[in-house]
Amino acid sequence: MPAVDAAGEFETIQKLLRPLAHPDYARGLADDVAVLPSRPGFDLVLTKDAIVEGVHFLPDDPLDTVAQKLLRANLSDLASKGAEPFGYLLACHWSPRCGWPEREAFAEGLATDQAAFGVQLLGGDTVLTPGPASFSATLLGWLPKGEAVSRGGARPGDAVYVTGTIGDGWLGLQAAQGRLSLEPERVEALAERYRRPVPRVVFGRAVRGLVTAMMDVSDGLVGDLGHVARASGAAITLDLELTPRSAAAQAWLESRTDPEAALERLVTGGDDYELVLTVSPRDEAAVKREADRLHLRLTRIGEVQAGAGVSARYLGQALTLSRTGWTHD
Ligand SMILES: Nc1ncnc2c1ncn2[C@@H]1O[C@H](COP(=O)(O)OP(=O)(O)OP(=O)(O)O)[C@@H](O)[C@H]1O
Ligand SMILES: Cc1ncc(C[n+]2csc(CCOP(=O)(O)O)c2C)c(N)n1
Ligand SMILES: [Mg+2]
Ligand SMILES: [Mg+2]
Ligand SMILES: [Mg+2]
């Protein structure tokens, strides 16, 4: 590894990152650590996800959107536990293409989402790498003691719901790579969903006490529901035709000659950052009311049964999928 870019390193921290720092706990990004007092009655919730150029974002993605995707992917994990976001630690592994304007854009993206989601920077690390750029964030959030939702509480008889629409992230990647022949506005809207997913933080907190299990969809709907099924010791049956689609995704689906294969792409492609949740019949109406109140689409896509694994149906017929979601293998 080459030495860190000394001049750029401290200029970046002091000029670009320090204005984003928490006024009380980050010690001006000029000490070795951040110091955070504990919050009586609350649990501290921590999560970490990294994003890598060429793996999670494209080399020509604007750096403000890369910063936002980084925060949002992590905020989505906090949302899935029903936590209130608080702050974050940030590691920047800048590549040679990240000059001052790109770093400024990255900091602008952070500032936008700090304001939007109520988080502040607590500290981090800044290095230069000869390889592709990558970034990681450790998000911190609060939950009233003992109230974290888990992946493991789904019970036979529960209904399975998903927020928003599924498949736009994967389609957006195709769009951003110029692989989709849809109208330019649709291509742009999908690429935007890929670059800037919308974590369901407010909804996650609102339904915290009403759901039996919840997780966010990052790898792909089917694969991520597999994690819920495994953690819960139950089976999940998914009706693929029910999975909610945006108008752009519907238009794309209708342009395909093999609808089952196309649907498989949407439900296994990942990059959705929506929430999947399981709900007992008793609490379904209350969960739907929360979604209505927040003007958030919420769709029933399947049910929890005794057994193991996820089985997909398409129009009532069992369907064997050739993949379930993204893995780093
Ligand atoms: N290198 C690691 N060290 C410690 N724990 C890890 C490591 N990698 C993953 N984990 C833990 O493994 C679990 C599953 O991680 P995973 O990244 O699949 O979940 P996720 O963040 O919800 O999904 P995604 O990364 O697709 O958004 C989490 O509890 C995570 O903290
Ligand atoms: C350029 C490019 N190629 C492919 C993908 C798809 N992708 C990569 S990682 C991942 C799962 C979530 O990440 P993780 O599990 O690491 O948190 C998905 C769906 C992408 N986003 N960008
Ligand atoms: Mg992860
Ligand atoms: Mg995650
Ligand atoms: Mg993953």
Residue closest to 166 by CA, chosen among 132, 137, 190: 190
Strand 120-128's sheet: what is its strand order? 42-52, 134-144, 84-94, 120-128
For residue 1, the model assigns a pLDDT of: 38
Q: Whose CA is nearest to atom 6 of ligand 1?
A: 48
The mean of the pLDDT values for the chain is 96
Ligand number with the minimum distance to the CA of 76? 4
Instruction: Render pLDDT for 25-55 as a digit per residue (tens, 0 to 9).
Output: 999 999 999 999 999 999 999 999 999 999 9
Determine if residue 142 is labeled as part of a ligand binding site.
Answer: no
Give, for ligand 2, the residue of 326, 327, 329 to mutate: max count of ligand atoms closer than 8 Å to Cβ. 326
CA angle, residues 117, 122, 123, in degrees to nearest 5: 130
CA distance 106 to 117: 16
Query: Closest ligand 1 atom to the C-alpha of 219?
Result: 26
Radius of gyration of the chain (CA): 20
- Kindly indicate the confidence band of residue 63, based on its pLDDT and cuts at 50, 70 and 90: very high
Q: Is the ipTM of this complex over 0.95?
A: yes
CA angle, residues 267, 270, 275, in degrees to nearest 5: 85
CB atoms near residue 275 (< 10 Å):
27
Query: How many A from CA of 233 to the centre of ligand 1?
Result: 20
- Kindly indicate the confidence band of residue 101, based on its pLDDT and cuts at 50, 70 and 90: very high
Q: To which CATH superfamily is domain 6-144 assigned?
A: PurM-like, N-terminal domain (3.30.1330.10)
- Residue written as token pair 């003691």: 145
Q: Whose CA is nearest to atom 10 of ligand 1?
A: 48
CA distance 243 to 166: 7
Residue 245's SS3 state is coil
Answer for the pair 248, 190: CB distance below 8 angstroms, yes or no. Answer: yes
Q: Which residues contact 176 (CB under 8 A, 6 or more apart)?
A: 58, 61, 191, 194, 195
pLDDT at 192 over 80: yes
- Kindly indicate the confidence band of residue 3, based on its pLDDT and cuts at 50, 70 and 90: very low
Give, for ligand 2, the residue of 55, 77, 168, 327 to mutate: max count of ligand atoms closer than 8 Å to Cβ. 55
Query: How many A from CA of 275 to the centre of ligand 1?
Result: 16
Q: Please state the rounded mean pLDDT for residues 152-171.
A: 98
Ligand number with the minimum distance to the CA of 132? 2
Answer for the pair 201, 78: CB distance below 8 angstroms, yes or no. Answer: yes
Instruction: Render pLDDT for 105-161 as a digit per residue (tens, 0 to 9).
Output: 999 999 999 999 999 999 999 999 999 999 999 999 999 999 999 999 999 999 999
- Kindly indicate the confidence band of residue 165, based on its pLDDT and cuts at 50, 70 and 90: very high
* Strand partners for 213: 278
* Strand partners for 319: 312
- What residue segments make up the domains of the chain, in order of their start? 6-144, 159-319
Q: Which residues contact 185 (CB under 8 A, 6 or more apart)?
A: none
Determine if residue 124 is labeled as part of a ligand binding site.
Answer: yes
Query: How many A from CA of 327 to the centre of ligand 5?
Result: 6
Please give the C-alpha separations between residue 323 and each of 173, 180, 265, 308, 329, in angstroms, as whole numbers. 18, 22, 9, 17, 13
CB atoms near residue 178 (< 10 Å):
9
Query: Closest ligand 2 atom to the C-alpha of 219?
Result: 11
For residue 125, the model assigns a pLDDT of: 98
Q: Please state the rounded mean pLDDT for residues 278-295.
A: 98
Tell me if 6-144 shares its fold with 159-319.
Answer: no
Topology (CATH level 3) of domain 159-319: Phosphoribosyl-aminoimidazole Synthetase; Chain A, domain 2 (3.90.650)
For residue 166, the model assigns a pLDDT of: 98
CA distance 165 to 274: 8
Query: How many A from CA of 259 to the centre of ligand 3?
Result: 31
